[in-house]
Structure 1
């Protein structure tokens, strides 16, 4: 398994300069930096090339995540919005192909965060989304990108809330590049048992996000990380483990994620870096197998 972190751990804006974090995550002991597709919308070829070169020079793998807005909703009943969404994903996937990014994950079958002041028509939106994800999934496959559908909690999404729902959705789409994405934060809210959900995903699991129940880095909350690692090993998962902690309030990131207090406890950037360094060492140890010492890395 390869271990990574989402850039927004340090940032308050989705479209921030993310290239600056490539060298940082390498120095902190990560294999992967996950970027947001928000930065790719209006990026120049020069900037794309520079981003790609920096990742190659540092030996860092890039993955991508995204929460599409309402105008990029593949489950919409508005044909114009669907056309815009397919055009958007086509452009993004070609950019990911150029960058050598092989994983895109998020609520990329609907939109995020959901506006619950509007009526919800889950069954109808499901059918439209399946058909349109099938179209985009084939484009992703041609670009060498795994199109990973993130299971979201009920407060952030309504279409896919459990691994069982995601597995059924992926089976209906029936395109090899379209896979399941699980996130421990969301699983803790919706799944009866997190390890059983991982086992259910099995070979269809394409991407895995980790973060504590309190949205801090793994090791600073209450999750059963050893058991989670056992489940991942049981299904033979060899993919990416990307932590997605959110600890800073403010900006569009803090607003969208609903971080209304400083979860970092006033930490300076140096402390955030040290927490990330300790956390990835902790995960490598705990997920490595039965010979690992669960308590050998203290956060």
Structure 2
């Protein structure tokens, strides 16, 4: 396994420049940095090159996350919105490929966060999502990118809430580069068993996010990490394990994630770095079985 962190841990806005965090995550001992994919579309070609160069120089792999907006929803009943979503995905995938990204995860089949003030159509949204991802998969494959469909909790999406639903969706798509993505925060809400969910995903598990029940870094909550690690090793998962903690209030991130209190206990950046380093060591031990 390779271990990473989403740079938004330190930020309040999804649009923050990820470049300043590449050296930081390398210094902290991570193998991977995860970035918010769609904001690359506003970066200049030179700046994208700078990020790619920095990642290479620091031996850091880049993965990407994406929560498409409602106006770029591949499962929308509005054909114009689906068309705009396809154009947006193509631009985004081309840009992340410049960073040698091979994994993009998130609610790719839908949009995020879902507006539950409006009626939802799970069956129709699922069918349109399967069609949209199926049509996009070959474009992504030509760029060497896997589309990892995230299983989200009921409060953030209605189409796929469990590993079983994620596997069924991926099988309906039927493309080798379309896989399941699990996240321990969402699993804690929806799954009867962490280990059973991981075994259900099995060889279709393409990406894995970690975060505590309270969205703090691994080790600062109550999740059964040894059970989770044993299941990942049982299915011989060799992909990225990316922690996705959200601990700061304010900005677009605090609003979207619903962080209404400071979960960092007033930590400054140095203390947040220390917490991330300790969570990495903890994760390598309990998930990867690192005894060193």
* 1:61 alignment counterpart: 61
* Separation in 1, partners of 2:59, 2:164: 36
1:38: Cα distance to partner?
A: 3.2
SS in 2 for 1:34: strand
* Separation in 2, partners of 1:287, 1:40: 31
SS in 2 for 1:283: helix
For residues 71-117 of structure 1, the C-alpha deviation after alignment (integer angstroms, 9 at most, x for no partner) is 11111000000001011111111112221000100011100000001
* 1:95 alignment counterpart: 95
- What is the RMSD of the two structures over their aligned residues, measured on CA atoms? 1.0
| Equivalent residue runs for 1:266-285 within 5 Å | 266-285=266-285
1:138: Cα distance to partner?
A: 1.5
| 1:210 corresponds to 2:247 | no
Unaligned stretches of 5+ in structure 1? 294-299
* 1:82 alignment counterpart: 82
Q: So what's the TM-score if we normalise by structure 1?
A: 0.96
* 1:154 alignment counterpart: 154
* 1:256 alignment counterpart: 256
CA contact (8 A) 1:210 1:241 kept: yes
* 1:39 alignment counterpart: 39
* 2:288 alignment counterpart: 288
CA contact (8 A) 1:72 1:84 kept: yes
| 1:5 corresponds to 2:5 | yes
1:41: Cα distance to partner?
A: 2.0
* Separation in 1, partners of 2:223, 2:75: 33
1:240: Cα distance to partner?
A: 0.2
* Separation in 2, partners of 1:203, 1:140: 20
* 1:128 alignment counterpart: 128
Unaligned stretches of 5+ in structure 2? none
CA contact (8 A) 1:32 1:60 kept: yes
Query: Aligned pair count?
Result: 292
* Separation in 1, partners of 2:214, 2:126: 30
* 2:247 alignment counterpart: 247
CA contact (8 A) 2:38 2:92 kept: no
1:199: Cα distance to partner?
A: 0.3
For residues 139-166 of structure 1, the C-alpha deviation after alignment (integer angstroms, 9 at most, x for no partner) is 1111101100000000000010000001
CA contact (8 A) 1:130 1:173 kept: yes
Moved over 6 A (4+): none
* Separation in 1, partners of 2:17, 2:74: 28
1:210: Cα distance to partner?
A: 0.2
* Separation in 2, partners of 1:217, 1:139: 35
